[in-house]
Amino acid sequence: MPTRVFSSHNLFDLSEALSISLKKEIRESEGLYSPVVIIPNKSMETWLNLDLVQRFGVVFNIRFLFLEKILEELLLQKFSPELDQRSRPFLRGDSQKFQIYETLLKNPELIQKYPSLKTYLLRQGRRNLDPIRLWDLSGRLAKYFKDYELHRQDWIKNWIGDPYAILRLPGEDIWEEIATQSEIFFFQKELYSHITRASSKESLIQYSMRMLGTKENPLGASRNIYLFALSQLSSTYVSIFRNLLPEVELQVFQFGVPTDDAIIGLGRDQICRGWANSFRALRKSWENADSEFVDVSKSEEEKDTTALKVFQKYLIYGKSKVSRRVPSDESLQILEAPSKLREVEAIFHHILAHLAESSETKLTDIGIFCADLSSYRPAIEFIFEGGILAKVGDRVQTKTLPYTIRDVIAGDTSKYLNAISSLFPILSGQRSRSSLFALFQNPCFQEKWELDPSTVKEWASFAEDLELYQDDSKEELSPLAFSFRKGFLRLAAGNILSDSEEEDSPISPFDSESHSSELWISVWRRVSFLLDHFSNKLNDPKISGEELIDSLIELLGSILTSKISNLEEGEIEQAIFDSLFELRSIAWDTKDPFDRIRFLEAFLKQSSGEIQVRKGQYLTSGITVSALQPMRPIPFKHVYILGLGEGLFPGMDDTSAFNLRHLSPREGDIGLRELNQSLLYETILSAESSLTLSFVAEDITKDESIAPSSSLLLLEQALKENVLIPDSSIRIKIPLNKHSREYFETRQNSPSLAEKFHKNFDISSSLIYGKPEDKDFYFKNTLYSFKTEDSGTKKDNIIPTILDWNELVRFARSPLSFHLQKRFGLYVEEISETDSKKEEPFRISNEFEFMSDLWNHSMRKFSSLELTESLKQVYQLWEKKGRIPRGIYGDVEFLLKSEKIEKISGFISEELENSKVYAGISFGESPKQGNLLSLAPISISDKINIQIQGLKENIFLKNELDGSHSIFLIYPNSSKRLKNLIEPFLIQCLLDSSSEKNIPKSVYAVLGYGDRPTILRMDREGKESLRRKFLLDLIGEFLKPFLSLVSPRLWEDFPDREGLKDLSSKSYQKVANEYKVWASQSVQYDPTTYLDDILRLLPHPQNYISDSDFTFCMNIYQPIASVLHVEK
């Protein structure tokens, strides 16, 4: 009986045809019978089960198997019934990878024969093979060999000879010329034949090739096998069924198979239709196998003419079936997003719009597919789990969307695998503070050693206070000054010695005033012993690879545990141990200690990349989030495909010299690009009501535009040429942020294409352009409770141990604005709305920005002040960007700038004589590279223990005549105002508080506004106590949970600011009341002057002026005002 192939572009039609066949087979069978359905993946099994339940009412006893599993069963039953199927008689891909690695490691003469291979595996300076490259190559070769078995059986036949025969279908041609002339071809031939002869097992394809033409045993009664939605099916499998298993009655249910021939070229009426060429090749294979095709697609009503439906019809049948063109609509859209976060955020609101529009739409009707799931997972988790603040009745409620996520790589999410990864830098000798605390802070380590996270946090504080940067416990000499060993000695001495004994101690005791320091020393001694014990085995060449694996498993069990709140961690641990047990039987060991640890790290990293985890119950617990691969034909009402940007999709083909199929392609070959395009084709067909494709169109960090992928451009072209009416577009540009004007503009005309994408359900986004009633509602329900301190609602604040001094500066400039940005993310910058001027300027487009670029360029490129040298280079750069007027206007601008720069340089050159440019001054560790003036973090110990750290970029360090040093900070566009002095004054206060020696003494601020810069000195003599009090007051105000509306500008313009010394209590209160009245009226009647863009969002700003504001200004702004009179 010929094979019957049921085809349709709708998976429900195929499922219905399958259900009819299953009912018939079950009805005709006797007793309890188990039909066999072959599925491409577990996702399809779940979907098919759910669909069959709806059709049958109840489903049980159906065997869902993968293709190779059923082939193994049938072939062994027919040709080798004596073999036990449970003994895994066939060679697996992982086993072959181990075989290749072991063979090449044991036979170096094989590598010496092939120069290109020798160059790759024996890098310059190495005497032994690089185990990491060898392991990577082994994995790739194992994949290639499996590929050759399926698609290049003439090579396999050539390599291993008789009794293997080629599995072919009638009409298949074999032509070869290029690959057989390659050196790599002969290397792979020798390697493949070697491992085939040496192995006691064959692969499934090898076994099938050998069985072809041999005497066979009867299979027994005919068997019905159902192949459901196997899209990427090699003709070799079709040949196995036809030539070796003819008694099997095969029914195939094929999705999305066009009826025409392969598409070659890019004619206007063929654009995008080539994406289905792999389906056409599969159809040809079934036709060559004399199969019977049955189209089970149901006819669609002609009135259903959405852009998506017409495009789907075009992809399947061609332009001839498109009866008329249609306008663009919401069924098919392409999104341009400024970032991944905004891309996901726009999809989130679009889903809410669908749910609000129709009560029949369920979360399980929605599928989100990502071209690169690992890069989108953090954004999806942040948006969908964090949710938004939505208006529900008369209150604000956090709105989230439940989802299930599949195909997540365990190495990206598992805490247990992260803990394992943190061990290898330590075992490699990189025992820095960061590597040690990466282990200490891992929950799997803390659970094993019964540690509380707060305890480990306290250890980190000790390490900061003691300035511990590395562990030298393996050294036999005296401990280094900044080592953990020295720090532990100081901690132990502080806990044991009395005050009198501490004076005579040769080391400086550190009294931690906490018992956790004893626990830290104890835990680290035991952990260090375990790590050193394993390191000693790594360094011992007498220890075998098998013993090393056993020791590593023992080490992991001694240091870590997977028994934390996440139940999947236990399964991940077992998978890792299984991989290590499999490695035990392989001769992987090179005996070199460095290579050993590198190989084990690479092996475990690769193993973790092969473990997939999921979140939620698939297809039943909300929105489905997945990669494209496993979900491609499963239907969803609304489909979103993310990450279709330039260079990201459809990817690049494997062009490695070891990939012989790339060197010698044949008709029907499918590379990575074709594979991904076929996945996109299937996903487009699976969308029922709407399809949204999106990409990130901007790189904000580089100020560059990013094009969509070539597939999206082709899709748009296909729509333009064959589907949509003229001048139609499906592109929608997502605004830069959720506060943008586009979300709140009133649209008078009919609903636009982007109507749902212009809906914003986040009540906080209404603060700029939203309705007044929404603003009042949000402030009343969310922000107003933070206006003043209320003892009835005050919550315990967690005091941070580390503060960034840059945040202190931002706070001092506008406490309430900083609070709104920090806690609620309120930013009003709108990049897309600031660059609207297109006419050619007759002056430099942005004077302030030009001066900033000039100073920054000079300080980056030169070791001293060289403004004149930088001018020409910066000017040329601005000319290239089109920001300089052309012709005579540009020449005039250059002359004017030259005169100005010459004046500025002459004015301050004397002050900056004997000075050197530094990339910045850093308090504490900094990720910035370059010539940094690095100082220790500043410790503040006044009732609270806090460290201040941070970085100020681009400074001058001047050598003074008395041998001291001064810091000059350049502010090219800043005037002599209080807000511009906060940063230099705070740096001066930090230097005053530092206990280090030989640090800069003075800070000068060079304010370059206008033609004549102003130089202000921050360290007025006799004002040390004032600066000390200022720093403590600033930190105290920063840590308060409730803030008021104060600013340097308000204080500067307060008429009674002068003469406020030594006020009596009565006078102080009187002036405070006068300030409150004056400030309230000022922000109410002159908001442009006294309120920044954030604060102007407040509906009634005068209500945020409080009684305590005057004290804040006296403590914070009045000390800064004292330096205004110290002009140099």
DSSP per-residue string spanning 104-122: HHH-HHHHHT-HHHHHHHS
Are 420 and 556 spatial neighbours (Cβ–Cβ below 8 Å)?
yes
The pLDDT of residue 796 is above 60: no
Distance (Å, whole) CA 56 – CA 1043 = 64
Residue 403 has phi, psi (to 5 degrees) of -155, 160
Q: CA-CA distances (angstroms) from residue 417 to 21, 574, 885, 1120? A: 46, 12, 57, 51
Vertex 622, ends 617 and 628: CA angle to 5°?
A: 80
Are 970 and 1006 spatial neighbours (Cβ–Cβ below 8 Å)?
yes
Are 958 and 968 spatial neighbours (Cβ–Cβ below 8 Å)?
yes
The answer to whether domain 4-81+217-299 has CATH 3.40.50.1580 is no
> What type of residue is 13?
D
The pLDDT of residue 583 is above 80: yes
Choice between 938 and 499, residue whose per-residue pLDDT is larger: 938
pLDDT value for 259: 84
Distance (Å, whole) CA 1108 – CA 166 = 89
Distance (Å, whole) CA 867 – CA 880 = 20
Rg (CA), the chain: 36
The pLDDT of residue 523 is above 60: yes
The pLDDT of residue 882 is above 80: no
Let me know if the fold of 87-211 is the same as that of 415-610.
no
Strand 802-804 vs strand 687-696: parallel, antiparallel, or unpaired? unpaired
Predicted structure pTM score: 0.76
Those residues whose C-beta lies under 8 Å from the C-beta of residue 33, and which sit 6 or more positions away, are 25, 26, 61
| CB neighbourhood size of 578 (10 A) | 11
Give the closest residue to 715 by CA, choosing from 684, 679, 690: 684
Residue 318: strand, helix, or coil: coil
Residue 592: strand, helix, or coil: coil
Are 643 and 383 spatial neighbours (Cβ–Cβ below 8 Å)?
no
The pLDDT of residue 719 is above 90: yes
Distance (Å, whole) CA 141 – CA 159 = 15
How confident is residue 792, by pLDDT bands cut at 50, 70 and 90? very low
Residue 826: strand, helix, or coil: coil
pLDDT value for 1010: 65
Those residues whose C-beta lies under 8 Å from the C-beta of residue 264, and which sit 6 or more positions away, are 274
Q: CA-CA distances (angstroms) from residue 444 to 83, 141, 412, 1069? A: 44, 36, 16, 57
> What type of residue is 975?
S
Residue for token digits 């223990």?
945
pLDDT value for 686: 93
Distance (Å, whole) CA 953 – CA 859 = 10
- Write out pLDDT tens, residues 1042-1076: 667 899 999 989 988 877 877 888 899 999 999 99
Residue 845, classified by CB atoms within 10 Å of its CB into exposed (0-12), middle (13-18) or buried (19+), is middle
Strand 945-959 vs strand 915-923: parallel, antiparallel, or unpaired? antiparallel
Average pLDDT over residues 346-354: 95
Are 788 and 1016 spatial neighbours (Cβ–Cβ below 8 Å)?
no
Quick one: which H or E segment has residue 1004? strand 1002-1007
How confident is residue 394, by pLDDT bands cut at 50, 70 and 90? confident
Vertex 629, ends 628 and 630: CA angle to 5°?
A: 105
pLDDT value for 734: 92
Vertex 224, ends 220 and 227: CA angle to 5°?
A: 135
The answer to whether domain 326-389+401-407+616-653+669-735 has CATH 3.40.50.300 is yes
pLDDT value for 143: 94
Cis ω on the peptide bond leading into residue 593 (within 30° of 0)?
Answer: no
Of all residues in the chain, what percent carry a pLDDT higher than 70? 88
**CATH class, range 415-610:** mainly alpha
Q: CA-CA distances (angstroms) from residue 84 to 75, 92, 517, 536, 742? A: 12, 16, 60, 44, 68
Those residues whose C-beta lies under 8 Å from the C-beta of residue 602, and which sit 6 or more positions away, are 131, 132, 135, 136
Which range among 16-25, 87-96, 434-443, 710-719 shows the weakest confidence by mean pLDDT?
87-96
Q: Following CA atoms 949, 950, 956, 958 in sequence, which dihedral angle do they give, to the nearest 10 degrees? A: 0
pLDDT value for 724: 95
Helix and strand element counts for the chain (H, E) = 42, 26
Residue 811 has phi, psi (to 5 degrees) of -65, -45
- Write out pLDDT tens, residues 816-837: 888 887 776 665 544 333 333 4
The pLDDT of residue 493 is above 90: no
- Write out pLDDT tens, residues 254-311: 999 998 887 877 788 899 999 999 999 999 999 999 999 999 988 765 556 899 999 9
pLDDT value for 996: 85
Quick one: which H or E segment has residue 534? helix 516-538
Q: In what order do the strands lie in the sheet with 687-696?
A: 612-615, 403-409, 623-627, 366-370, 636-642, 687-696, 332-337, 731-733
Residue 773: strand, helix, or coil: helix
The pLDDT of residue 335 is above 90: yes
Residue 652: strand, helix, or coil: coil
Distance (Å, whole) CA 182 – CA 117 = 12
Are 838 and 1117 spatial neighbours (Cβ–Cβ below 8 Å)?
no
Distance (Å, whole) CA 1079 – CA 441 = 48
Highest mean pLDDT (candidates 300-304, 544-548, 920-924): 544-548
Q: CA-CA distances (angstroms) from residue 1011 to 907, 972, 1111? A: 10, 10, 37
Q: CA-CA distances (angstroms) from residue 230 to 242, 399, 807, 1010? A: 17, 39, 57, 73
Are 203 and 94 spatial neighbours (Cβ–Cβ below 8 Å)?
no
End-to-end CA distance of the chain: 101
pLDDT value for 553: 95
Distance (Å, whole) CA 6 – CA 14 = 7
Distance (Å, whole) CA 1110 – CA 1114 = 6
The pLDDT of residue 413 is above 80: yes
pLDDT value for 859: 66
Give the closest residue to 377 by CA, choosing from 337, 413, 402: 413
Give the closest residue to 257 by CA, choosing from 550, 577, 9: 9
What's the half-sphere exposure (Cβ side, CA atoms, 13 Å) at 973? 11
pLDDT value for 783: 64
Quick one: which H or E segment has residue 35? none
Those residues whose C-beta lies under 8 Å from the C-beta of residue 736, and which sit 6 or more positions away, are 338, 342, 829, 830, 831, 832
Those residues whose C-beta lies under 8 Å from the C-beta of residue 187, and which sit 6 or more positions away, are 110, 113, 114, 117
Strand 687-696 vs strand 636-642: parallel, antiparallel, or unpaired? parallel
**CATH class, range 87-211:** mainly alpha
How far is Cα of residue 194 from the mean position of the Cα atoms in its chain? 42
- Write out pLDDT tens, residues 621-680: 799 999 887 666 899 999 999 999 988 899 888 888 899 888 888 877 888 899 999 999
Residue 1012, classified by CB atoms within 10 Å of its CB into exposed (0-12), middle (13-18) or buried (19+), is exposed
Structural domain spans, the chain:
4-81+217-299, 87-211, 326-389+401-407+616-653+669-735, 415-610, 841-909, 912-1039, 1042-1121
pLDDT value for 829: 47
